[in-house]
């Protein structure tokens, strides 16, 4: 794999991972203040409007019919983010094709997907990670407890997530833990920084500052080189209404 640091032809790529409501978007948005980083938010809006159809909503309302289609579209849109070119030395993404697989695993465990649907999605996943240019240099795992993310999710009240139960978040948590904490489930494609993301937004901002320094230093760019833009980003928010 080509070196992702100075003089490299590709950016040092960081994926922000964690349960639903763990604060990925907020964490990611903090990077928008730097002029050396391409920030790629998860394409939830695309999932909500596929030629006028809200696929996220359909998936929650009728998973047996729509889960496979939805996960197929998630994989496509995540691949589009991975392969997006950037002249900047850093790229920070919300989630990845790797964590999309956590949801496939969850649907498999809940018997929402038929065996043949799992096979097709997993074949797609395998092909993507083998053939597409999706190099990842670092994973930041925002580790949370399900009770806390459940409260945050209820507070932000995304209308499609009305049907999401605490049990579902426990399962998604468990799968992330098996993948990134215990490292027993899937391949972990890069080194991991694990952060306690149960904390308040102020405490998370402090964690962000430390993490950001590690990221920029790991690629040989000093703080000075990763200049902040003149207009600062707004203060981080958890549980803000997303729609
Ligand atoms: P998340 O990707 O967890 O995004 P979020 O907005 O909850 O993140 P955060 O609060 O940490 O900023 O989930 C978005 C929605 O999409 C959520 O309802 C779960 C769903 N989803 C799937 O069903 N399958 C998938 O593969 C992915 C990536 C998300």
pTM to 2 decimal places: 0.88
Q: Does pLDDT of 3 surpass 60?
A: no
Cβ-count burial of 119 within 10 angstroms (0-12 exposed, 13-18 middle, 19+ buried)? exposed
Ligand 1 atom closest to 78 (CA): 28
* 228 — pLDDT class (breaks 50, 70, 90): low
The better pLDDT of the pair 81, 10 is held by 81
Tell me what percent of the residues of the chain surpass a pLDDT of 70.
Answer: 87
Residue 93 Cβ < 6 Å to ligand 1: no
Of all atoms in ligand 1, which is nearest to the CA of residue 19? 3
How does residue 38 score in pLDDT terms, banded at 50, 70 and 90?
very high
Contacts of 153 (CB under 8 A, 6+ apart): 20, 21, 161, 164, 169
What are 142-157's pLDDT values in tens digits? 999 999 999 999 999 9
Instruction: Report the distance separating Cα 164 and Cα 211, nearest Å.
Output: 31
**Three-class SS string for the chain?**
CCCCCCCCCCCEEEEEEECCCCCHHHHHHHHHHECCEEEECCCHHHHHCECCECHHHHHHHCHHHHHHHHHHHHHHHHHHHHCCCCCCCEEEEECCHHHHHHHHHHHHHCCCCCHHHHHHHHHHHHHHHHHCCCCCCEEEEEECCHHHHHHHHHHHCCHHHHHCCHHHHHHHHHHHHHHHHCCCCCCCCCCEEEEECCCCHHHHHHHHHHHHHHHHHHCCCCCCCCCECCCCCCCCCCCCCCC
**The pLDDT value given to residue 218:** 74
Mutate which of 15, 16, 18, 20 to test ligand 1's pocket (most atoms within 8 Å of Cβ)? 20
Q: Output the residue whose Cα is nearest ligand 1's atom 17.
A: 20
User: Looking at the annotation, which residues are catalytic?
Assistant: 94
Ligand 1 pocket, mutate which of 22, 42, 152 (most atoms under 8 A from CB): 42
- CA–centroid distance, residue 103 to ligand 1 (Å): 9
Using the predicted structure, report yes or no on whether residue 140 has a pLDDT greater than 50: yes
Confidence category of residue 238, pLDDT binned at 50, 70, 90: very low
Q: Is the CB of 50 under 6 A from ligand 1?
A: no
Q: What is the distance in A from the centroid of ligand 1 to the CA of 207? A: 22
Q: For ligand 1, atom 24, which residue shows the shortest CA distance? A: 103
80-107 pLDDT tens trace: 999 998 899 999 999 999 999 999 999 9
Say yes or no: CB of residue 185 within 6 Å of ligand 1: no
Q: Ligand 1, atom 22: nearest CA belongs to which residue?
A: 103
41: left (phi over 0), alpha (psi -120 to 50) or beta: beta
Residues 202-215, mean pLDDT to the nearest whole number:
90
């Amino acid at each position: 794999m080509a070196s992702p640091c100075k003089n490299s032809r590709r950016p040092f790529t960081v994926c922000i991972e964690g349960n639903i409501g763990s604060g990925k978007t907020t964490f990611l948005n903090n990077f928008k203040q730097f002029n050396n980083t391409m920030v790629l938010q998860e394409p939830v809006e695309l999932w909500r409007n596929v030629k006028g159809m809200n696929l996220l909503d359909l998936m929650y309302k009728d998973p047996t019919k729509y889960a496979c289609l939805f996960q197929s579209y998630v994989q496509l849109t995540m691949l589009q983010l991975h392969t997006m070119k950037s002249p900047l030395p850093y790229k920070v993404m919300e989630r990845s094709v790797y964590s999309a697989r956590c949801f496939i695993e969850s649907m498999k465990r809940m018997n929402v997907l038929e065996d043949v649907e799992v096979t097709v999605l997993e074949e797609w996943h395998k092909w993507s990670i083998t053939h597409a240019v999706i190099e990842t240099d670092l994973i930041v795992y925002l580790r949370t407890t399900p009770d806390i993310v459940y409260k945050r999710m209820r507070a932000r009240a995304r209308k499609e997530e009305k049907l999401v139960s605490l049990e579902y978040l426990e399962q998604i948590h468990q799968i992330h833990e098996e993948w990134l904490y215990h490292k027993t489930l899937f391949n972990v494609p890069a080194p991991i920084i694990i952060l306690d993301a149960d904390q308040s937004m102020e405490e998370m901002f402090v964690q962000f500052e430390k993490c950001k320094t590690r990221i920029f230093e790991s690629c040989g760019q000093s703080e000075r080189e990763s200049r902040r833009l003149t207009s600062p980003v707004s203060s981080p928010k958890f549980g803000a209404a997303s729609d």
